[in-house]
Chain A
């Protein structure tokens, strides 16, 4: 079949194929659009804003750890409570507004309907309301920086009693209230968006798009949405309870006999452990909410750029489902040192180790997909391969931390920081970068610069390892996390050179991200116009007809006859077959 590989007008793609949308008035109307492509891009820019703030905070923290007395421009010297506030906000922004927003709500809203052959999400208004709620939530969170007392300092996990008592610290008053309101709104936003995702996947697949013909990205968005539906409701309930403890005088999480500045609190009988159970019952699935879409993108891209079908498609689907199911049974491994029945610890430990099985299946399949492929070394492939590398490196420390005996020693050290930053943050970030490079032509109608992309990749890859591998060593040596300044502690002082190295690596790596930003914004305006299907990918979002769809009416109704990853099929004219190509 001759491939229709034209070069559409990039401006038309950005304005969703309608030249009339270029006027100022129409642009304003576009802002509140219910079109999934616009909402997807809005989420993308929301996450971009969040990641800039989050990265800036991490930079401040790294500088403070090495030069505690440094005077920062406009901020002055960083006090311990400022450090804790930065730590909290960095975690909150990165986990909620970056890692669980852009791979799921951002790329998902944009590409789920397109990949399924639908014209829009099942509930377009709900999707739009979801975005505006997320934006409100982000603004409320940012407001916490500017209120008296500043941002909260109890960490992104907000353990009570610290988070439950306004008198417990500078950021524990209004700052924590804003944090709780923000996260409550974020829960609502995620629930709305996830309901739309599941309904779209169940009911909006094009004719012929059977479950086993869905791209793996769609599978992971689907499973992630189910996780969101089950997990975020729990967090919302927990946030409401904490609010009641703070303002209505209840004692859900507050034990009796606590003294704050020498004065006893009025609460009694509550249990701080209860919050930990509720939070981690949400919090562990949240890890998979962040990483499953990243895995889906990686599976998709490795196949495209190796020009081979995904190795073990069914096993990939099964592993995604297994990770989703197991993810709900392992929350206790965050609480090994919180006081736990050893039998419960054993069960959590066993189940946690069991997650290594589906993860290993996925890793094996990724490597096997690459093996023997005609690999095209484009930037998206590099970042996807980087994801696999970081996922393995970060994943190997998982079974170590899953052993209660080892975790007792390593808990709250930099070992844990290194583990979750590698497997969740860095791996997730690499998947986001690869997805951005891969889908940029479809989202903005232009190509990103390959040379800058590669430069950015190598800096980030070496940077990620340079920052986080030494952190394992710090952790093994017993360096605790979350402390603003340990320069007076003798055994920690011996680790100062390593800390300094990490900070220098962090500065270089974060500076390297400017290359990405420059590439992104330059390509958005000035990049070369993209062809309809620049990567020669077989899924439906690249069909010429899909470019013509708009919100509401549209003629696009593909008939799907092929699987998503039919590359190098013997006897085929091209080395790939579009999913909607006529059946042979």
Chain B
């Protein structure tokens, strides 16, 4: 096997048009497995190319996620406004019953989610630093001051999901069921859809964190953390959007 430094290419933008698929040499010790990468050195082009296409993929994924949540928000507002003006009683008649939200729980969950977003960002930055070593073919040294940010994020992420389950259980014990009123249906729908999306993010983080066992290359691990962090921050943002919606537009 030739020395690794031969294959490191100075990253630069291709002069014309877009680039080809970014291929990285396969290296023992850094694991293997990648999208169709057979690990031939002549395929090596640029590390950034590979990161770039995953970032584009994530941006597109976010477009679709946005479409879904925008649609659900429209439905919520539409359903909230449905009703009629009773001429005789001189008042607006609607079957929408305002939902009393468990604010303490919801704020706790929000805090947990916000924290997880912050720790994921720290994990991402740590990996970014380590990548310099990986590019030179050196196993990234363990930096003393680094906490296992990825693990902490996972814990917080699962904590948020558990917190959401607690919220749903609390509401259930108060007799607030999915079917009892549209305000309930929409609350469960919005929070549930968000939780399902978040669980997807957790799976991706688990994949990145289990990199050692999956024989994942550091490079792939870093990409997984990078694009999932975009997703994660976006879901945190969406969470506050949903929270604001069910708070301010509670009818």
A interface vs B, CB < 8 Å? 34-35, 117-120, 122-126, 191, 194-196, 198-199, 202-210, 213, 229-234, 236-238, 240-241, 244, 248-252, 268-271, 274, 278, 281, 551-553, 555, 557, 560
Whether B78 and A204, one on each chain, are in contact in the complex, defined by CB atoms closer than 8 angstroms, is no
Whether B64 and A191, one on each chain, are in contact in the complex, defined by CB atoms closer than 8 angstroms, is yes
Contacts of A120 in B (CB 8 A): 21, 36
Of the residues A35, A208, A229, A241, contact of B63 by C-beta under 8 Å: A229
Q: Is B72 part of the binding interface, using a Cβ–Cβ cutoff of 8 Å?
A: yes
* Complex A-B: 23 CB contacts under 8 Å: A122-B21, A195-B61, A195-B64, A199-B53, A203-B18, A203-B49, A205-B17, A207-B14, A209-B17, A229-B63, A230-B63, A232-B64, A234-B67, A234-B68, A236-B68, A238-B71, A244-B178, A250-B178, A251-B185, A269-B82, A552-B37, A552-B38, A552-B40
> What's the interface size class on B, roughly?
35 or more
Whether B18 and A34, one on each chain, are in contact in the complex, defined by CB atoms closer than 8 angstroms, is no
Further 10 A-B residue pairs, CB within 8 A, beyond A123-B57, A271-B78: A34-B36, A119-B20, A122-B56, A204-B53, A207-B15, A209-B16, A233-B71, A244-B189, A251-B185, A274-B78
Whether B95 and A202, one on each chain, are in contact in the complex, defined by CB atoms closer than 8 angstroms, is no
Whether B43 and A248, one on each chain, are in contact in the complex, defined by CB atoms closer than 8 angstroms, is no
Whether B21 and A118, one on each chain, are in contact in the complex, defined by CB atoms closer than 8 angstroms, is yes
Chain B's interface: helix, strand, loop or mixed, by majority?
helix
Whether B16 and A271, one on each chain, are in contact in the complex, defined by CB atoms closer than 8 angstroms, is no
Q: Nearest-CB distance from B76 to chain A (Å)?
A: 11
Q: Is B210 part of the binding interface, using a Cβ–Cβ cutoff of 8 Å?
A: no
In Å, the complex CA distance between A210 and B16 comes to: 7
Contacts of A555 in B (CB 8 A): 42
Of the residues A124, A206, A269, A274, contact of B35 by C-beta under 8 Å: A124
Contacts of B82 in A (CB 8 A): 269, 271
Q: Is B52 part of the binding interface, using a Cβ–Cβ cutoff of 8 Å?
A: yes
In Å, the complex CA distance between A90 and B149 comes to: 53
Whether B21 and A553, one on each chain, are in contact in the complex, defined by CB atoms closer than 8 angstroms, is no
Q: Is B111 part of the binding interface, using a Cβ–Cβ cutoff of 8 Å?
A: no
In Å, the complex CA distance between A268 and B179 comes to: 10
Contacts of B65 in A (CB 8 A): 233
Whether A551 and B36, one on each chain, are in contact in the complex, defined by CB atoms closer than 8 angstroms, is yes
Contacts of B72 in A (CB 8 A): 237
Q: Nearest-CB distance from B92 to chain A (Å)?
A: 15
Of the residues A126, A191, A236, A553, contact of B43 by C-beta under 8 Å: A553
Q: A209-B18, A250-B179 are in contact. Are A233 and B36 (CB under 8 A)?
A: no
Q: Nearest-CB distance from B224 to chain A (Å)?
A: 14
Name which residue of chain A comes closest to B43, CB basis: A553
B interface vs A, CB < 8 Å? 14-21, 23, 35-38, 40, 42-43, 49, 52-53, 56-57, 60-61, 63-65, 67-68, 71-72, 75, 78-79, 82, 95, 178-179, 182, 185, 189, 193
In Å, the complex CA distance between A120 and B189 comes to: 38
Whether B35 and A230, one on each chain, are in contact in the complex, defined by CB atoms closer than 8 angstroms, is no
Q: A229-B60, A229-B64, A244-B189 are in contact. Are A210 and B17 (CB under 8 A)?
A: yes
Name which residue of chain A comes closest to B186, CB basis: A252
Contacts of B19 in A (CB 8 A): 203-205, 207
Contacts of B43 in A (CB 8 A): 552-553
Whether A553 and B40, one on each chain, are in contact in the complex, defined by CB atoms closer than 8 angstroms, is yes
Contacts of A281 in B (CB 8 A): 71
In Å, the complex CA distance between A274 and B68 comes to: 15
Contacts of B60 in A (CB 8 A): 194-195, 198-199, 229
Of the residues B40, B67, B75, contact of A230 by C-beta under 8 Å: B67
Contacts of A208 in B (CB 8 A): 16-17
Name which residue of chain A comes closest to B63, CB basis: A229
Contacts of A557 in B (CB 8 A): 20
Contacts of B179 in A (CB 8 A): 248-251
Whether A252 and B38, one on each chain, are in contact in the complex, defined by CB atoms closer than 8 angstroms, is no
Q: Nearest-CB distance from A209 to chain B (Å)?
A: 5
Output the residue of B23, B35, B78 with the most chain A CB within 10 A. Answer: B35
Q: Top 7 nearest A-B pairs by Cβ distance? A: A205-B18, A249-B179, A552-B38, A233-B67, A233-B64, A199-B56, A195-B60
In Å, the complex CA distance between A269 and B179 comes to: 11
Contacts of A236 in B (CB 8 A): 68
Name which residue of chain A comes closest to B41, CB basis: A553
In Å, the complex CA distance between A196 and B64 comes to: 13
Q: Nearest-CB distance from A223 to chain B (Å)?
A: 14
Contacts of B36 in A (CB 8 A): 34-35, 120, 124-125, 551-552
In Å, the complex CA distance between A109 and B189 comes to: 35
Contacts of A274 in B (CB 8 A): 75, 78-79
Contacts of A206 in B (CB 8 A): 17-18, 20
Whether B53 and A122, one on each chain, are in contact in the complex, defined by CB atoms closer than 8 angstroms, is yes
Q: Nearest-CB distance from A493 to chain B (Å)?
A: 43
In Å, the complex CA distance between A551 and B65 comes to: 30
Q: Nearest-CB distance from B96 to chain A (Å)?
A: 8
Whether B189 and A241, one on each chain, are in contact in the complex, defined by CB atoms closer than 8 angstroms, is yes
Contacts of A119 in B (CB 8 A): 20-21
Q: Nearest-CB distance from B26 to chain A (Å)?
A: 11
In Å, the complex CA distance between A472 and B68 comes to: 38
Q: Nearest-CB distance from A201 to chain B (Å)?
A: 8
Contacts of A551 in B (CB 8 A): 36
Name which residue of chain A comes closest to B52, CB basis: A203
Name which residue of chain A comes closest to B22, CB basis: A203
Contacts of B17 in A (CB 8 A): 205-210, 213, 560
Q: Nearest-CB distance from A233 to chain B (Å)?
A: 4
